[in-house]
């Protein structure tokens, strides 16, 4: 798992990753000082940081928001950074993942707004249709608690497998009750899935990692999640108690602006879908 952080702003203190984040104090001068500081947001490179970079470059100044974007390449660092105060907010995850992370790590991070959906898809370099998956073949799926269940649900919805009744979003391969093709399963960290395509018959890949690897979900996926009624919209999140930070509220409004909706539609052409 990689946890390197790339700063996408040009002005940053010489301390590198040791960012100074104003703490919430009891006196008004502390609050005023915090409001004047840049809002530091940890985000996955694609599409989250791209969307934030667009806001920083085109919308933030007019809204009176100073925005700094940290690119983070794993699914743990953004939440730990928000919890320990080295980032003010993050934008990379959906609500089921956030709920599970809080439960597993004892954190108190909350969603501010839903922003977009990245449909998860099944990809392969060896077959063109889901019916062509070979008997005894190997399918790779994400190994985190919520995305594995999401991947298996995609396969179940497309009649590849059946799952135990009532298993919900936390399904694992042990909850598969029907497997007509006797498929084998390779559970991997989500970011490794695109690189695994050469070694497996197919892989269920999160939308951001598909985009990062050069895959085009709307044309390259064998099957793709439906957007309607999908619970996996990605959210802007902060540590509990920071929801009303004026900087956070400004960013939330910009993320729901017509300009951002148009940017998402024009840039990602269906691979990323606005959820507002």
Q: Are residues 115 and 125 in the same domain?
A: no
3-class secondary-structure state, position 71:
strand
Q: Are residues 74 and 197 in the same domain?
A: no
Q: C-alpha angle 3/49/235, rounded to 5°?
A: 90
Closest CA to 262 of 248, 276, 250, 249: 276
3-class secondary-structure state, position 274:
strand
Q: Are residues 183 and 168 in the same domain?
A: yes
Q: Are residues 114 and 236 in the same domain?
A: yes
Q: Mention every residue, 6+ apart, whose C-beta is less than 8 A from residue 205.
A: 120, 121, 122, 123, 190, 193, 194, 213, 215
Q: Are residues 76 and 40 in the same domain?
A: yes
Q: Are residues 59 and 182 in the same domain?
A: no
Please state, in angstroms and rounded to a whole number, the distance separating the CA atoms of residues 81 and 90: 8
For residue 201, what is the domain's CATH number? 3.40.190.10
Q: Are residues 100 and 12 in the same domain?
A: yes
pTM for this model (two decimals):
0.76
Q: Are residues 129 and 182 in the same domain?
A: yes
**In total, how many domains does the chain have?**
2
93, 138 contact by CB (below 8 A) = no
Per residue of the chain (276 residues), give pLDDT as tens.
333 333 333 232 223 333 333 333 333 334 444 678 999 999 999 999 999 999 999 999 999 999 999 999 999 999 999 999 999 999 999 999 999 999 999 999 999 999 999 999 999 999 999 999 999 999 999 998 889 999 999 999 999 999 999 998 889 999 999 999 999 999 999 999 999 999 999 999 999 899 989 999 999 999 999 877 788 999 999 999 999 999 999 999 999 999 999 999 999 988 999 999
Q: Are residues 13 and 57 in the same domain?
A: yes
Domain coverage including residue 102: 5-119+231-274
Q: Give the CA count within 13 Å in the CB-facing half-sphere of 252.
A: 17
Which pLDDT value is given to residue 112? Answer: 98
Q: Are residues 115 and 184 in the same domain?
A: no
Please state, in angstroms and rounded to a whole number, the distance separating the CA atoms of residues 33 and 140: 48
Which pLDDT value is given to residue 15? Answer: 30
Q: Are residues 11 and 108 in the same domain?
A: yes
The burial of 167, by beta-carbon neighbours within 10 Å (0-12 exposed, 13-18 middle, 19 or more buried), is given as middle
Q: Are residues 214 and 268 in the same domain?
A: no
């Amino acid at each position: 798992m990689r946890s390197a952080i790339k700063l996408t702003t040009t002005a940053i203190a010489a301390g590198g990753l040791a960012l100074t984040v104003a703490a919430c104090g009891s006196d008004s001068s502390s609050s005023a000082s915090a409001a004047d500081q840049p809002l530091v947001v940890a985000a996955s490179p694609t599409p989250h940081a791209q969307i934030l970079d667009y806001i920083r470059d085109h919308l933030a100044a007019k809204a009176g928001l100073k925005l700094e974007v940290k690119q983070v390449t794993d699914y743990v660092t953004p939440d730990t950074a928000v919890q320990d105060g080295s980032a003010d907010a993050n934008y990379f995850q959906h609500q089921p993942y956030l709920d599970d992370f809080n439960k597993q790590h004892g954190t108190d991070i909350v969603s501010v707004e839903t922003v977009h959906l990245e449909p998860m898809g099944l990809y392969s370099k060896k077959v063109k249709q889901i019916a062509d998956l070979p008997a005894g073949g190997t399918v790779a799926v994400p190994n985190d608690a919520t995305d594995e269940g999401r991947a298996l649900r995609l396969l179940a919805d497309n009649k590849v497998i059946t799952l135990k009744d009532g298993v919900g979003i936390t399904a694992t391969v042990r909850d598969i009750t029907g497997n007509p093709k006797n498929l084998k399963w390779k559970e991997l960290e989500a970011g490794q899935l695109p690189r695994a395509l050469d070694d497996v018959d197919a892989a269920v890949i999160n939308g951001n990692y598909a985009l990062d690897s050069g895959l085009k979900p709307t044309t390259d996926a064998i099957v793709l999640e439906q957007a309607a009624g999908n619970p996996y919209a990605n959210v802007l999140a902060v540590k509990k108690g920071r929801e009303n930070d004026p900087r956070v509220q400004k960013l939330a409004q910009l993320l729901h602006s017509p300009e951002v909706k148009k940017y998402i539609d024009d840039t990602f052409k269906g691979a990323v879908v606005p959820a507002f």
